[in-house]
């Protein structure tokens, strides 16, 4: 008797477990887009369709007498956003459509259909995500040192961020990642990695993936400084990493103003479009581009026109690689020397002219002074000549009498 009782309990447990284990379908919906919850059943008549979320009713549809029309009843949780398509009910389709789905619509839904043929159930697990739409990677100096900043906005669930370098480095990478959610539950992710010292040509790779699966997004950046000489051709390197296949190539230039387009190249079609402004200054080897080498040849560079940032971007679905070449074009020493020599030549000429003018003025003044001596009054000249003759004709006695004191008389006068 106990054996029969045991077998009965065993079969009953199996029956209950079979009823509870309704096959579930997982649906991943995007935020603000329509979400489709499938449900099919064996057609009958007098259908009553009920949708439940976490055990609470969210939608009800009833139809009688085999008519195509029925009564829809949306519950507060869906707020009029849920509906089915009545003409499909007679064909065994009770699919529920939730318009403008949001994070609050996540959960486990159950579709219960009652017809003249019996009752049927279906289970749907709904996941709502805000997929990654774009990823940016920049070089920042706001923290007092150079760091790579990887940013993704308005995503759900919170993604996973990983960093690598190419080539690989033995130093441990220690990024700092912050995730902030807004009032709608969407995340903004900011991950920063300090730039390694002594490795200026290192490639930094940021990879972001969602826990719901789907494609991971990858972006990478390399920044280098290049110096060139005015008038001498210069090669600006740009090579696609291994994770990119058949990427789209684009070059642009900026020197503190809005970036200007240089050229674009589509590796699939082999079609290239270049700017008329840069057509005579750049050259791209299309054969090398097919192998991931998008290096650009800058011809006859000028200091004033071509000193700035040349940016190369390789892009593919969910992937992007950027190389920024900060270029400084130096002037030729010969040109600088010639310009300086011409400057000093002009300055020397001006000084020589000034000296000649000054010498001329002095000569003129001297000649004028000599001429004035020869044009004095004749009477004055005669008087000067007589005084000179009387002075020369007097003897020593005359000189002494002239020079004796006024109080002393001559002895000849006393006698």
The predicted structure's pLDDT at residue 346 = 76
What is the value of pTM for the model shown?
0.69
Taking only the tens place, the pLDDT of each residue in 131-167 is 999 999 999 887 788 999 999 999 999 999 999 999 8
The per-residue DSSP string of 157-204 comes to S--EEEEEEES--SSPP--EEEEEE-TTS-EEEEEEEEPPTT-TT-EE
Domain with CATH 2.60.40.10 in the chain: 22-129, 130-215, 223-332
Contact 246, 268 (CB under 8 A): yes
Query: From 1.10.150.20, 3.40.50.720, 3.30.200.210, 2.60.40.10, which CATH number describes the 130-215 domain?
Result: 2.60.40.10
CA-CA distance, 176 to 206, in Å (whole number)?
A: 12
Cα–Cα separations (whole angstroms), residue 396 to 215, 353, 392, 399, 407: 133, 60, 11, 5, 20
**H/E stretch holding 219:** strand 217-229
Q: What is the CATH number of domain 22-129?
A: 2.60.40.10
Taking only the tens place, the pLDDT of each residue in 27-84 is 999 999 999 999 999 988 888 999 999 989 999 998 765 444 445 555 667 878 999 9
In this predicted structure, the answer to whether residue 365 has a pLDDT above a threshold of 80 is: no
The CATH homologous superfamily of the domain defined by 223-332: Immunoglobulins (2.60.40.10)
Taking only the tens place, the pLDDT of each residue in 165-184 is 998 888 889 999 999 999 98
Q: Mean pLDDT of all residues in the chain?
A: 81
In this predicted structure, the answer to whether residue 392 has a pLDDT above a threshold of 60 is: no
Phi/psi of residue 365, nearest 5 degrees: -65, -40
Q: What is the DSSP letter of 332?
A: P
């Amino acid at each position: 008797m106990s054996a029969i009782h045991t077998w009965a309990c065993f079969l009953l447990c199996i029956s209950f477990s079979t009823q509870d284990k309704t096959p579930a379908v997982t649906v991943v919906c995007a935020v603000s887009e329509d979400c489709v919850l499938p449900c099919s059943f064996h057609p009958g008549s007098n259908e009553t369709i009920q949708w439940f979320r976490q055990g609470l009713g969210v939608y009800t549809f009833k139809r009688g007498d085999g008519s195509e029309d029925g009564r829809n009843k949306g519950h507060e949780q869906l707020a009029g956003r849920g509906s089915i398509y009545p003409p499909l009910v007679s064909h065994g389709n009770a699919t529920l459509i939730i318009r403008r789905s949001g994070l609050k619509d996540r959960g486990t839904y159950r579709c219960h259909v009652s017809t003249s043929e019996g009752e049927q159930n279906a289970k749907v697990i709904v996941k709502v995500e805000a997929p990654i739409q774009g990823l940016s990677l920049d070089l920042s100096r706001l923290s007092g040192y150079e760091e790579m900043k990887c940013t993704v906005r308005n995503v759900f669930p919170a993604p996973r961020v990983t960093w690598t370098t190419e080539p690989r480095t033995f130093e441990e990478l220690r990024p700092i990642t912050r995730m902030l959610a807004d009032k709608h539950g969407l995340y903004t992710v900011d991950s920063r990695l300090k730039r390694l010292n002594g490795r200026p040509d290192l490639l930094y790779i940021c990879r972001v993936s969602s826990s719901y699966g789907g494609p991971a997004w990858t972006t990478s950046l390399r920044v280098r400084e290049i110096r060139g000489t005015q008038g001498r051709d210069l090669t600006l390197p740009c090579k696609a990493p291994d994770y990119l296949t058949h990427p789209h190539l684009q070059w642009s230039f900026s020197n503190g103003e809005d970036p200007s387009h240089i050229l674009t190249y589509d590796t699939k079609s082999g079609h290239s479009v270049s700017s008329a402004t840069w057509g005579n200054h750049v050259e791209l080897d299309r054969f090398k581009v097919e192998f991931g080498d998008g290096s650009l040849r800058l011809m006859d560079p000028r200091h004033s026109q071509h000193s700035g940032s040349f940016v190369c971007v390789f892009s593919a679905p969910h992937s992007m690689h950027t190389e920024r070449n900060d270029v400084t074009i130096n002037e030729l020493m010969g040109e600088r020397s010639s310009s300086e020599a011409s400057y000093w030549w002009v300055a020397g000429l001006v000084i020589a002219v000034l000296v000649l003018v000054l010498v001329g003025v002095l000569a003129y003044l001297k000649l004028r002074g000599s001429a004035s001596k020869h044009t004095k009054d004749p009477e004055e000249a005669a008087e000067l000549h007589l005084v000179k003759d009387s002075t020369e004709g007097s003897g020593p006695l005359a000189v002494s009498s002239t020079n004796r004191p006024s109080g002393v008389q001559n002895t000849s006068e006393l006698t």
